[in-house]
Structure 1
Amino acid sequence: MSIQKKEDHIQICLDPASQIGSAGWERYRFVHQAMPDVSFAEIDTSCEFLGKPCSIPLMISGMTGGSETAAMINQHIALACETARIPFGVGSMRIALEHPETASSFQVRPYAPNVPILANLGLVQLNYGFGLDECKRAVELLEADALMFHLNPILEAISQDGNTDFTGLMPKLEKIIRHLGVPVLVKEVGFGISAKVAQELRDVGVRTIDVAGWGGTNWAFVEGRRTGNSLGSVFSSWGIPTSDAVRDCSKISGLSVIAGGGMRTGVDMAKAMALGASLSSIAQPALAAALQSPEAVLAVIDRYLGELKTTMFAVGAGTLKALQAASIEVRE
């Protein structure tokens, strides 16, 4: 994986054309409470993630790393997450393990000493020479609270140098879960996780997934544009909308679901929680801000917080637990 590839991804993701489709939140509507019986000033959005207190059920998810631009992005996001008290997951760390000179672009713990930090590797790399030692190195490099494996078969198929052997990964994942020493989470990258796959992940010991569904940054489009591969446009409409993935995967006992993919507003976050999610994740909505400053990223986080609190007020939910029990209707 090259530094130029990382830089290309950043630039393409900044293009509004990379945002394709709908996560499906417009199909759901809360029942408005004209008499909410809560005080807006007392609404509590606090939660816990990976054993640490957070101010809002929002995570800024893995985007990048490996270049000077990526280092700045990660630093700005980490500083903002520390101030806001929310989790941060870095982008794929494969480049840091293969090219140690890039490792510093991922090392955000000094900027975010008190919030959950997640390391990130592609699960398919377990079929290409990576094992427990590499996973431990990624966690140690970041002083991470957990390791997030990402699933990206469509992206790998479109990439010119893609790793497309996804056979036999579940037993290898189970071994990592048993021996790594920190929690192991699994996410998609924008095409969604079905209930069937979520159950299989749960069966080998995964306790938290980010469904990262269709309706946000479209990595078929991104990689297709980068490589000139027409598969990118053909598969830009492929995937499970985030709202459907959240609804279906949240029914699995013992599995915590993060709603990622096309989470554009705090209203989307609230709807995800009402459908069973425990947390939401965003990436591209914070990217342009992260190129500017930590304060710009904080402004994005504050917008989501304000929208979430207003939604909670309008449905009469003073806590996240009450929000999860709020009445929500499907609009066909």
Structure 2
Amino acid sequence: MAAVKKSDVELRKESHIKVCLLEDVESDVSSGFDDVCLVHHAIVDLDRDEIDLSCEFLGKKMSAPLIVEAITGGAKIAEKINKNLARACEEVGVGFGVGSVRAALVDDALWDTYKVRDVAPTIPILSNIGLVQLIDEYDIRQIKDSCKEIGADGVAIHLNAVQETVQPEGNVNWKGSFERLKYFCQNLGVPVVVKETGAGICRETAIMISRAGASMIDVGGLGGTSFSMVEHYRDKKGQGLLFKNWGIPTVCSLVECRQAVNTGIIASGGVRDGVDAAKAIALGADYAGVALPVLKAATRSHKEVVSVLSRIIDEMRSCMFLCGAGSVSEMKKKDVVILGKTREWLLARGIRMDNLSNRESVDALREKVKF
């Protein structure tokens, strides 16, 4: 019997996984978290171990505001990775997103690489598809059916113009993309998260996304995995290396988006530990997203992923303790100072930061702090 030929999409997904595991695919540009200083509180009326990180995402409870971002799917080698990631997320109690389901829309045999409800029955799960594929490749029925197929609670529509630009087989005709985004947001019947994939979202785009009717924005900023660099390793004659550091650093994107819209926000792109995650919450994010830090662990076992996620959550709790925040909602009210290149960027964009660093006046504090 002749071997079953893999689709071009499956081969590409397989290649992406291998490159991310074997090569240095991170941007040289900082995500900006090093420029963010949380204000230390030397006296806190808290028990660190009683700090409440619980929250809700897509109508489901989570133990902490943490989401394992879309990493993979659509290749047989992705099945084990997704199962380990989802099983770990279920054990820890955080959200999970699968990679783009495009490969399974091309080849039904690949749906099993995305199906994780058997190991993750209660956590929030996001399906995933690229905006450019919604322009003329797939209709709303197919995307609705894909959610049912994998038991997803919502859909992440990803924006990857940089990757499409440098990819040899990329689609660079994005005419009509906003109207299609609006149509899908308003007619899918499930929550839609609009996410970047490593180049960030500016305030102008955030306003467009909000007006389109998206439930949430995932900033997917510069400073973490560079898919331009991933494509460079696939085709070294292309433009991937040139655009390795293209985009808006994560913290800049987060602050821009938060000050422009009231939509829920996920901060991702270079979030590497619980300190970064806590800073993101203090800057106005509702959730922090991680991907690369758990990928290698997921190739080995779900227990290793549990270890990584538990460490991040524990680090978040320590940060909140040292800031005097007993809950996620309290952490959002804590003062945060932005320095360095991140401050330069935000000032150049005309964005005020005193509402972050001086959230309460001295007089108000004197009234509040009474012993």
| Category of TM-score, reference length = shorter chain | over 0.9
1:220-279 deviation line (CA, Å, top 9, x unaligned)? 110111122341111011110000011110113331110000001111111111111000
- Equivalent in the alignment of 1:234: 242
- Equivalent in the alignment of 2:11: 4
Q: TM-score normalized by structure 1? A: 0.98
State how 1:20-169 maps to structure 2 within 5 Å. 20=27, 21-169=29-177
CA contact (8 A) 2:93 2:123 kept: yes
Q: Give 1:175's aligned amino acid.
A: Y
Q: In percent, how many aligned pairs have the same letter?
A: 39
Match of 1:314 among 319, 322, 338: 322
Q: Give 2:25's aligned amino acid.
A: S
Where in structure 1 are there 5+ consecutive unaligned residues? none
d(CA) in 2 for partners of 1:69, 1:53 = 30
- RMSD (Å), alpha carbons: 1.1
d(CA) in 1 for partners of 2:143, 2:120 = 21
Q: CA deviation at 1:10?
A: 1.0
- Equivalent in the alignment of 2:301: 293
CA contact (8 A) 1:19 1:215 kept: yes
1:55-112 deviation line (CA, Å, top 9, x unaligned)? 0110001111122210000000110011111110000100001111111110111111
Q: CA deviation at 1:205?
A: 0.6
d(CA) in 1 for partners of 2:170, 2:145 = 23
Q: CA deviation at 1:165?
A: 1.2
- Equivalent in the alignment of 1:13: 20
For the residue of structure 2 that corresponds to 1:248, the secondary structure is helix
1:13-34 deviation line (CA, Å, top 9, x unaligned)? 1246211221001111111111
Where in structure 2 are there 5+ consecutive unaligned residues? 1-7, 341-371
Q: Give 1:70's aligned amino acid.
A: A
Q: CA deviation at 1:128?
A: 3.1
Q: CA deviation at 1:126?
A: 1.5
Higher Rg: 2
Q: Give 2:275's aligned amino acid.
A: V
Q: CA deviation at 1:209?
A: 0.8
For the residue of structure 2 that corresponds to 1:306, the secondary structure is helix
d(CA) in 1 for partners of 2:335, 2:22 = 36
Q: CA deviation at 1:159?
A: 1.0
Match of 2:192 among 163, 176, 184: 184
Match of 1:258 among 246, 263, 266: 266
Q: Give 1:37's aligned amino acid.
A: D
d(CA) in 2 for partners of 1:47, 1:56 = 6
d(CA) in 2 for partners of 1:174, 1:331 = 36
d(CA) in 1 for partners of 2:339, 2:252 = 13
Q: Give 1:199's aligned amino acid.
A: I
Aligned residues: 332
Q: Give 1:253's aligned amino acid.
A: V
CA contact (8 A) 1:158 1:229 kept: no
d(CA) in 2 for partners of 1:331, 1:270 = 17
For the residue of structure 2 that corresponds to 1:296, the secondary structure is helix
